[in-house]
Structure 1
Amino acid sequence: MLKRYAALLLAVLVSLSLTLSGCGGTGGKIPTVKIGEVTRSVFYAPQYVALAKGFFKDEGLNVELQTTPGGDKTMTALLSGAIDVALVGAETSIYVYQQGSDDPVINFAQLTQTDGTFLVSRDEMTDFDWSKLKGSVFLGQRKGGMPQMAGEFTLKKHNIDPHQDLELIQNIEFANIAAAFASGTGQYVQLFEPQASIFEAEGKGHVVASFGTESGKLPYTVFMTKQSYIKKNQKVVQKFTNAIHKAQLWIKEHSPEETATTISPFFKDSDQAILASAVKRYLEQGSYAESPALTDSAWNNLLDIMESAGELKERVPAEKLVDNTFADSAVSSDK
């Protein structure tokens, strides 16, 4: 009987030892990271690739994704603790900083490096020129948001005063803009993909220009979190960034069609050809960042755009709100 209990005890100890050795100091629990994305768009394809290909799981993370339309709602979710990481425009971290937060929001991994919207005309045009917008009704984006600021920056670049030379509509909720245009509001609208391609396929609109090409490189969509979260979860943030960089490299090495197939579960109502067309557009204009690191030149371009829109109280140095430590490490480990 004694030998039997000794054998049983030995088995328990061995089992416990194996369990603890597999925990990596996390108490046996796989860390869960809750992401809040500002919208659902092909523009964020690398994020969906990281989820679909299991890159987060490979890093030992469980990731939960939710969509919170609008930068203000996404940031509110982050600050309240409803999510751990926000995927939103870097300008939102500046807004929080300008309010004097004791726990600033830090940008740690860039996903996209240009504006992701396109100018869609209700009428087909073979000879588009920006001057055609003068006197038109333009369905823009929310005031203070990156799409609207980049849009206004582009219009000014082409000698168009967005508040004097056209009728600018900004009072429609972000999630309802496409529906408003489809129902007859506006002659032009600023849309993300795949909505722009969907409207083309349905004959409801025609892409005539790219705000991403016009406004230059900037940290348009970035993974960010509170400084306090980074201090408590440095290994988690590093693993998260590693997965994102793997997805960035994957998209670079695969065709738009392969990417479309991979991310299709996140766009169940979209045609594969539409998704591929949208991915191709973003690849051609270099929208997907190939590195999660934010550059100083792109950050300064962001400040210029915010300053032009009258939304910047002071120019905030990148080192205040950007931490490239995790991005640099991810890139180095993949070389």
Structure 2
Amino acid sequence: MKKLIICALIVCLAAACLCFAACDTDDGVIRLTEVTHSVFYAPLYVAIEGGYFEEEGITIELSNGGGADSCMTALLAGQADIGLHGPEACIYVANQGRDDHPIVFAQLTKKDGSFLVGRNPMPDFKWSDLEGSEVIGGRVGGVPAMTLEYLFEQNGLFDGNNITINYGIDFDLITAAFEAGTGDYCTMFEPVATNFQNAGKGYVIASVGEGAGDMPYTAFTATRSFIDENPELIDGFLRALIKAMNFVEENDGITVANVLAPQFAGTDVEVLANAIEKYKQIDAYSTSPIMKQEDFEHLQDVIISAGVMDSRVDFSEVVDNSIAQAVLDKMN
């Protein structure tokens, strides 16, 4: 069933790709679609609000795709220039043998950024404590759901046996569904998780990423044609991103939060700072845009373990580190 759902997704993406052609941009505007809006992507927002993109003559038009599948559809349809989402979407399209499929040219995060949220505090939590419960996992084939399932299995929890993973709720609807009473647990990204707890609606229990280990969780992608037709724009994007990555690495949570705060209107800066510190503590932020092949293979281990695909995709088919490496070499 999981493979059938993914195949249906690929068919829809392919149809979208036939309707539009990639184009170059000479006005410095990049249409960037992100999988969700979260402090998990702090370096991106620092690059925007800290003026790093502006220094490169780049204007970012940011939109929330609400899931990796929607981001990929926007890329293939020519409605977005760059996507920020899990590399799994690129793997699925590449596995179908499509020409000019989107590739990863920079990594942003290296761990799952979600946190397990429950209805009651669990100060001495162990993953095995979830036995017999229902957990909202998100969309089948999405990295959040697959990482959660992988982590559960590493701790003796198997969907349909001693735990129930609810795959029937879209990623951007998980919080609302949980608040409405669905499930015993769910996962949320920051600052949503902290805001949820502060509102007295639930409790942040554990980090999924800390339990699941390193993997290229979120990356910047674009079609090869867009990259080839806009080399200076891509280089400028990477320079701004690298400067922002360094800023996040070198500064504490409150300093970073004060820079990116305009991206989260209505959220207290202290909440943002706390969320950033959480991510720094679990080493979630990439300090370099270069993706490690061993981490990519770990991601494919998770995907195969979830039963979504059988065969691996070559690292070089989906990831091109050469662009970011060339930019790094010139900056150093």
Q: Please, what TM-score do these two structures have when normalized by structure 2?
A: 0.90
Residue 107 of structure 2 aligns with which residue? 110
| Larger displacement relative to structure 2 (159-168 or 140-149) | 159-168
Residue 17 of structure 2 aligns with which residue? none
Aligned AA (1:65): L
Residue 160 of structure 2 aligns with which residue? 163
CA distance in 2: counterparts of 1:100 and 1:316, whole angstroms = 10
Q: Larger C-alpha radius of gyration, 1 or 2?
A: 1
Aligned AA (2:321): N
Residue 206 of structure 1 aligns with which residue? 203
CA distance in 2: counterparts of 1:149 and 1:211, whole angstroms = 11
Contact 2:109 2:286 in 1 (8 A): yes
Aligned AA (2:239): N
Deviation at 1:267, TM superposition (A): 0.8
SS at structure 1 position matched to 2:312 = coil
Deviation at 1:191, TM superposition (A): 1.1
Residue 261 of structure 2 aligns with which residue? 264
SS at structure 2 position matched to 1:263 = helix
SS at structure 2 position matched to 1:30 = coil
Contact 1:114 1:217 in 2 (8 A): yes
Residue 28 of structure 2 aligns with which residue? 31
Deviation at 1:285, TM superposition (A): 0.6
Residue 67 of structure 1 aligns with which residue? 64
Deviation at 1:80, TM superposition (A): 0.2
Corresponding position: 1:235 with 2:225: no
Deviation at 1:297, TM superposition (A): 1.0
CA distance in 1: counterparts of 2:327 and 2:162, whole angstroms = 46
Residue 43 of structure 1 aligns with which residue? 40
CA distance in 2: counterparts of 1:330 and 1:181, whole angstroms = 43
Deviation at 1:314, TM superposition (A): 1.3
Deviation at 1:42, TM superposition (A): 0.6
Deviation at 1:256, TM superposition (A): 0.3
Query: After the TM superposition, which parts of structure 1 deviate over 6 Å for at least 4 consecutive aligned residues?
Result: none
CA distance in 2: counterparts of 1:255 and 1:126, whole angstroms = 26
CA distance in 2: counterparts of 1:183 and 1:80, whole angstroms = 35
Residue 153 of structure 1 aligns with which residue? 150
CA distance in 2: counterparts of 1:180 and 1:257, whole angstroms = 31
CA distance in 2: counterparts of 1:269 and 1:296, whole angstroms = 39
SS at structure 1 position matched to 2:100 = coil
Corresponding position: 1:176 with 2:173: yes
CA distance in 2: counterparts of 1:186 and 1:303, whole angstroms = 28
Corresponding position: 1:326 with 2:323: yes
Contact 1:245 1:330 in 2 (8 A): no
Equivalent pairs: percent with the same residue? Answer: 39
SS at structure 1 position matched to 2:328 = helix
Contact 2:50 2:260 in 1 (8 A): no
Deviation at 1:111, TM superposition (A): 0.6
SS at structure 1 position matched to 2:222 = strand
Contact 2:75 2:83 in 1 (8 A): yes
Deviation at 1:60, TM superposition (A): 2.0
| Larger displacement relative to structure 2 (323-332 or 143-152) | 323-332
Corresponding position: 1:193 with 2:190: yes
CA distance in 2: counterparts of 1:200 and 1:251, whole angstroms = 25
SS at structure 2 position matched to 1:35 = strand
Q: What runs of 5+ residues in structure 2 fail to find an aligned partner?
A: 1-24
| Larger displacement relative to structure 2 (28-37 or 90-99) | 28-37
CA distance in 2: counterparts of 1:210 and 1:91, whole angstroms = 21
Counterpart pick for 1:276 among 273, 276, 295: 273
CA displacement, residues 104-156 of structure 1 (integer Å, 9 cap, x when unaligned) = 21100101111111111111112211111111121111110000011001000
Residue 218 of structure 1 aligns with which residue? 215
Q: What runs of 5+ residues in structure 1 fail to find an aligned partner?
A: 1-27
Residue 134 of structure 2 aligns with which residue? 137
CA distance in 2: counterparts of 1:186 and 1:249, whole angstroms = 39
Counterpart pick for 1:248 among 240, 245, 256: 245
| Larger displacement relative to structure 2 (199-208 or 78-87) | 199-208
SS at structure 1 position matched to 2:159 = coil
Aligned AA (1:273): E
Residue 101 of structure 1 aligns with which residue? 98
SS at structure 2 position matched to 1:189 = strand
Contact 1:37 1:74 in 2 (8 A): yes
Number of residue pairs matched by the alignment? 308
Deviation at 1:29, TM superposition (A): 5.4
Residue 124 of structure 2 aligns with which residue? 127
SS at structure 2 position matched to 1:257 = helix
Q: Please, what TM-score do these two structures have when normalized by structure 1?
A: 0.89
SS at structure 2 position matched to 1:291 = coil
CA distance in 2: counterparts of 1:127 and 1:31, whole angstroms = 51
Contact 1:87 1:221 in 2 (8 A): yes
| Larger displacement relative to structure 2 (59-68 or 220-229) | 59-68
CA distance in 2: counterparts of 1:204 and 1:261, whole angstroms = 26
CA displacement, residues 69-124 of structure 1 (integer Å, 9 cap, x when unaligned) = 01111110000000000000000000111222111211001011111111111111
Deviation at 1:57, TM superposition (A): 1.5
Residue 49 of structure 2 aligns with which residue? 52
